[in-house]
A = this chain, B = another copy of it.
Amino acid sequence: MSPAPEPTPARLRAIPSRLLAGAAVAADRLVGERLAAEGARKWHFAVLAALAEAGAASQAELSRRTGIYRSDMVAVLNELADTEYIRRDPDPGDRRRNVITLTPGGHRRLERLDALVTDAQRELLAPLTPGQRDELTRLLTVLTEYHRPSHPRPHDAK
């Protein structure tokens, strides 16, 4: 097959990792621009959404839910606490932990940011049909679930 005598190998284009990087940059810019209009970054949204979805949690737990590093989580929570969107109280049951709670103001904040993020998704996926959007979401979910920190390597050959 492909008796095509292409002298140029044409290897560069259509390299998945490159496409992924490009698409991610575009997506991050779309989301970033909109959130910046409200003085927020995507982490703020992620943390607020995680809290709204699964309830109060420790910082480490939030790290796992959102994928944000524990180190970076500190600054994000500081900002969210400064603006009264969350509360950070010591956990009486485990004095190492803080319990992060979403305030009513934080909940409204989430509603606003969610609208912006949703709108950004629409623009991001504009060139795709609804079916393609679902398929893309599915494929990306498989990829991100498969590639997790320290992944088992099941089929370690040889």
Contact = CB atoms under 8 A, between A and B. Distances in A.
Interface of A: 8-12, 14-24, 26-28, 30-31, 42, 46, 49-50, 52-54, 65-67, 114, 117, 120-121, 124-128, 132-133, 135-137, 139-144, 146-147
Contact of A124 (B28, B65, B67, B147): B147
A84 to B, nearest CB: 22
A124 B53 contact: no
A144 B28 CA distance: 12
B139 A135 contact: yes
Contacts of A142: 127-128, 132
A7 to B, nearest CB: 11
A22 to B, nearest CB: 4
Nearest to A126: B146
Nearest to A12: B49
Most buried by B among A10, A17, A19, A50: A17
A14 B135 CA distance: 11
A157 to B, nearest CB: 12
Contacts of A50: 12
Nearest to A144: B22
Contact of A137 (B19, B49, B65): B19
